[in-house]
Each structure stands twice: as C-alpha cells, then as structure tokens.
Copies of this chain bind each other. A is one copy, B any other.
Amino acid sequence: MQIAHPYLLFLGDVPDALAAKTALGIVDWRPEWCIGQYRLDGCKADAGLADMTPAEAADAGARTMIVGAVNAGGVLPDHWVASIVAALDAGMDVASGLHMRLADVPEIREAAQRSGGKLFDVRHSSERFATGKGTKRRGKRLLTVGTDCSVGKKYTALALEKEMRERGLDADFRATGQTGVFISGRGAAIDAVIADFISGAAEWISPEAADGHWDVVEGQGSLFHPSFAGVTLGLLHGSQPDAFVVCHEPTRTNMRGVKTPLPSIDDVIDMTIRCGRLTNPDIRCVGIAVNTAALDEDAAMKLLADLSRQYGLPASDPVRFGVAAIVDRLIADYGLA
C-alpha cells in the first residue's frame, strides 16, 4: 500500500478543529504534500491551505483526496459521499481514516470502478500479513514507547525523523496508526490487524534495510495499559528496536480510559528491555520525551533536568525544546557522526 501524494485534504463541515485533527496533523508534518483543502459550507476547521474543489485540485496535480475529518458518531454522512464521488470522478484516489469502509457505500464503490481510482481504508488494512518470524533484520530501528497511550509517541517519532534527516542521517518514519499512515504514505494501523499477526505486521512495516539506515517506528499503547499492552508487545517484538525513547506525560495519574495507575519511567525502561531482548539483545533506551504542556517553562526545564540526571539519559519536550539532545545521544552511541 502506497498512498500517492500530493494530497487534497477533505475537511467536510466539521464543527471544530479537533474533528479535523488527522488533516491538521498531515499538514503539520507534510506541508509539501498538501496542495489544498476542500471544505463544505459551515466547516469550522481550517488547515491553512488554499480552498479548492476536487476538480481544481486534480488540475493542480493532487493525486489523492484524504478524508481527514471525522463526523459526529464516526459515520460517513450522506452529503460527504457526493464529495468523495466527485474526487474519484476528478481522477483522484481517496484515502479514509473512518471506521466504515469506503467501498461499503455503493455510490463510492461504483465511482471507483468507473474512474479506476483506488480506495484506501487505513483502519482496515487489506494487506495480508504473515506471522512474525523474530529473525533479526538488517538496518537500525528506533521505537517510541510510552508510560501510557496518547503521550506523544507519534509526534516524537516524527520529530526524530526530521532532526535525524537534518543531520544527514538516513532515517524514515514508519507509521503504525492512521494519521501516521497519511503522513508517511504507507504503513498500517497495527491495532486493526488480526491479533495473530501483530508482530508480523510490525516486521512488514519496518522491512530489512541498509546497515546505516534508521527506521523510526511510531509506538502504540503501553506495556502497562490493560487494554492495549498486547498490541504494544507485538509491535516491540516485530520492530525489534536497537534503541527506544520513552514518552511520558507527567501530570497523568491513571492510564487513559481505565483505573490502572500510571507506571514509572523506570518500569517502562525495564520492561521494554526485558521484553525487547527477545528479538534484539542489544536494545537500549536513548532518551525520554516528556509532554510538559501542563507545566510552566521553569517547571518543565527543572523536571527535564531532574529526569536527565536520574536516568543518565537526554530528556526533552519535543514540542517545546526539540529532540536535538536525543539525536546527539544516538549519534554518540552508534558512531553516526
């Protein structure tokens, strides 16, 4: 699966920016892939791109319309169907992060057949995965892990890819969730694969590569989250990281959506190494990424300095202070200068 860019971002008529967060994430990280936005009357989200219709976008070179907004209830409203059909009729592919499959809507399926356009449902991988093999692959890999869900694992991985590339390293972000798939044009929503194939999907997402190449793999969930730890463990085994970064939100007390207390950073480092050794005996932690949005700048800097001293690792807030210190450590540890 490879989603062709440039993209036209479809925002529909969503009532706020949150409902368009997938589209906004794409334009944050891949502005050069985004040729315009297509908004319906009443849309309250704005990706800061030129407004255009599917026909105008296709004329301007757009190859895929991304349905990067979610309607209330997660369903596909009837008046969005016509917009998707228009994109197909204009010669584009359409990629969606909605729960329902595009091809399950007869008008969309017929339009795709008529136009030859491809439909991508990133929540429903059509890729047939093998079971994981556990065999060491060439190339280096870094995985972001977390004390919880939604603590910045995707953002940290993307920030690392950007910083590594700016230093001249050969690095690729590898997506394991829907927004990440749009941002990288490939990957798989690993929480949507059949349980038997989690690690096999992770092996497919980050295939064998050149010795000097780094895949920066987007983490999912937490080994300590009672709902999703199975996904996290399969992803750890399949991505067989050499290095990992722990992502953390310091004001959270419970795991997201459940009553389980948050584990410590120590717990996460220790368990990640213990489990990760199964497929990569050299696994090590190279940094801590903290979402300090809830702290003022002084408190944030103090916390990061304390964590860095306590663990002997670079600690930063990727949004506030960047990830240069973590990439410095990576370069030093792996002789990448």
Contact = CB atoms under 8 A, between A and B. Distances in A.
Interface of A: 131-135, 190-196, 198-200, 223-224, 226-235, 237-238, 255, 257-260, 271, 274-275, 278-279
Contact of A233 (B131, B135, B233): B233
Interface centre among A190, A194, A195, A198 (most CB of B within 10 A): A195
27 contacts: A132-B227, A133-B226, A133-B227, A133-B258, A134-B226, A134-B259, A134-B260, A135-B258, A191-B196, A192-B194, A192-B196, A193-B195, A194-B194, A195-B198, A195-B231, A195-B234, A196-B228, A198-B230, A199-B226, A199-B227, A224-B278, A226-B237, A229-B233, A229-B237, A230-B232, A260-B279, A271-B274
Nearest to A263: B278
A135 B255 CA distance: 12
Interface centre among A194, A199, A226, A275 (most CB of B within 10 A): A226
Copies held by the complex? 2
A232 B229 CA distance: 10
Given A190-B195, A196-B192, A233-B233, A227 B131 contact: yes
A208 to B, nearest CB: 16
Contacts of A223: 233, 275
Contacts of A258: 132-135
Contacts of A190: 195
Contacts of A259: 134-135
Contacts of A231: 195-196, 198, 230, 234
Contacts of A198: 195, 230-231
B226 A279 contact: yes
A260 B136 CA distance: 10
Nearest to A193: B195
Interface centre among A131, A234, A271 (most CB of B within 10 A): A234
